[in-house]
Chain A
Amino acid sequence: MNRLNSLFANKKDLLSIYFTAGFPRLDDTVPILKALETSGVDFVEIGMPFSDPLADGPVIQKSSTTALENGMSLTVLFKQLENVRREVSMPIVLMGYLNPVLRFGVERFLDKCKETGVDGVILPDLPFEMYREQYSHLFEERGISNTFLITPQTPPDRVRLLDENTTGFLYMVSSAAVTGAKTGLNQFQIDYFTRIRDMELKSPKMVGFGISNQESFSEVCKYANGAIVGSAFIRMIENSNNIAEDIDGFICSLKPRND
């Protein structure tokens, strides 16, 4: 059982943060990770920037462009993560698009994930069928979790299929949209969350896309194991002069501490 599986087994109302590697500055990746852990985030998704991120809204697009201009690449990212497990113990998931991973070499990529202590991978443009046929054994051999996305339009039998085949968690895309912070949940979304909750799936579920404040975070926690915040975090960090302090404030505003 990797870090991700034990986290889901032991804790509820999980808060996960997505941020783009190498943004706002190239060397911010690890300091951001450490600050997120200190401020009580449960796990992270590190975005591997891509030139043409077609499932992402303007905020993540822009951060990816900046990160690439800063010189971020998979080689640089794995170098930055080389000793990360001495300092950070929460689960780490890498999220990005397939082409840079293919170019790096899928096996080499997964080997590097294992070496650096990355627990899972999300590749939205690698559809399940192709994953199963070509890559699943490579993930399994190394104990790297995968995660599939589901959306309000995913038919129930496909939700079941993805649920049965995920080894990490199901990523519930909150609405038909690209990434980007939004305010409030509507009835359509609540119905979808309820429908998925009532399916009693085996996999943990995290809600992502459009979660930006305490209200939407605690609301979706009623239906899933937790939520993922991305664009709102990136917008905050872009304008930050003191990363550690601002991250702490931001996380506290999403999930007030009881102590």
Chain B
Amino acid sequence: MIEPNNKGFYGEYGGAYIPEMLIPNIEELRAKYLDILNSESFRKEYHLLLCDYAGRPSPLFKAERLSAKYNANIWLKREDLNHTGSHKLNNTIGQILLAREMGRKRIIAETGAGQHGVATATVCALMGLDCVVYMGATDIERQAPNVARMRMLGAEVRPATSGNKTLKDATNEALRDWIANPLDTFYLIGSVVGPHPYPDMVARLQAIISSEIKEQLKSKIGTNLPDYVIACVGGGSNAAGSFYHFLEDESVKLIGTEAAGLGVNSGETAASMACGDKGIIHGSMTYLMQSDDGQITEPYSISAGLDYPGIGPLHAFLKDSKRADYMPITDDEALDAVMELTRLEGIIPALESAHALAVLPKLKLKTSDHVVVTVSGRGDKDMKTYMERFNL
């Protein structure tokens, strides 16, 4: 396990670069989150909800035709089968219990693809709490079904209209809302980003993914260590969860895939590792796409959930320490992977998850290799894009 130090730094990455207005809230969370997360009552309720409400454990499926194609043993960690259709619910279940424990009545969240927004609206409905979700106006357009789901669940969806009107801008608006509503509001962040303690807290709440992978592999192949674990990286929460319990198992190669958009040198990209360098975004020191003057660059990706110019600080640390590798995947490569999984296995993945699958043709795999790919979500929300791109 890799934990940040008490100030929230993984090496030189992380921390809490936040204005004074947010300090009381962040400080309270920092002081309480570990005690709450480790308490007997929290653990009981969290695991009960993961099991009976979310439908966990999510299956680890041996993809036979994909395995035949790539000449290796390909396992899919089916987060797409989680209630609400992605891994995001693992985190929102945990944080909503925390918010309730801390006595907060109003929940705010940011969302890109809308999956985190839906997962937040879902647990708010479950707990009877007010919910406001900020979403970039561009994303409201391209992820329309999720907007309707959030509204149906009783959440108010507020458009963010600055910048490229995507995830970064929605996060800015959510932080502004928290500044303006410091007393009753809990900010339920959707990835391993933001000021400490969010990156660590969200990683812990997603760690269930790798703990299940280990158990499932053990019973299926007799060892709990695969050769590869692969996951896509927007902010990096499904990847953090997929890697978490493997971080100390040095034999397991960890690969994160980031969205290259039209290509890492195209200027239309969200590959913060390939194109960015050290800087501060949303309260955290990390890899960031920025200009020579330190202005944050507007990102681009076909995938709303990966369309973010930064990356969680844990991943910045894992990259520098070479514990994990990060590879850029273009829009077109992701779309090819969508069709491949759909036709070979009968699973329509989310665009985000397709960025993880798209790495398979790039690896030099051995027949004996066991490769786990996390399918972070299902493709229902992306049908509009698929209909256009595949002429359906």
- Residue numbers of A with Cβ under 8 A of B are 50-52, 54-55, 57, 61, 65, 68, 73-75, 97-104, 124-130, 148-151, 153-155, 158, 162, 173, 176-178
Contact = CB atoms under 8 A, between A and B. Distances in A.
Contacts, number: 99
B23 A127 contact: yes
Contact of A74 (B18, B163, B293): B293
B17 A176 contact: no
Nearest to B282: A54
B18 A102 contact: no
B265 interface: no
A102 B294 contact: yes
B172 interface: yes
Contact of A102 (B21, B180, B280): B280
A130 B24 CA distance: 16
Contacts of A51: 163, 295-296
A147 to B, nearest CB: 11
B259 interface: no
A127 B18 contact: yes
A52 B279 contact: no
Contact of B293 (A55, A100, A128): A100
A130 B283 CA distance: 12
Interface size range on B against A? 20 to 34
B290 interface: yes
Given A73-B293, A101-B294, A149 B20 contact: yes
17 contacts: A51-B295, A52-B163, A55-B19, A55-B179, A75-B293, A97-B280, A103-B279, A103-B292, A104-B294, A127-B23, A149-B19, A150-B20, A151-B20, A154-B20, A162-B20, A173-B20, A177-B179
A99 B280 contact: yes
B137 to A, nearest CB: 14
B294 A154 contact: no
B283 to A, nearest CB: 7
Nearest to A124: B19
Contact of B290 (A54, A99, A158, A173): A99
A55 B21 contact: yes
Nearest to B7: A129
A127 B292 contact: no
B176 interface: yes
A127 B288 CA distance: 20
B281 A125 contact: no
Nearest to B25: A153
Given A102-B294, A128-B20, A153-B183, 14 more contacts: A52-B281, A54-B175, A55-B21, A55-B176, A99-B288, A102-B280, A103-B279, A103-B292, A125-B280, A127-B18, A127-B20, A130-B15, A153-B21, A178-B176
B312 to A, nearest CB: 17
B294 A125 contact: no
Interface string B152-190: 000000000011000010001001100111110000000
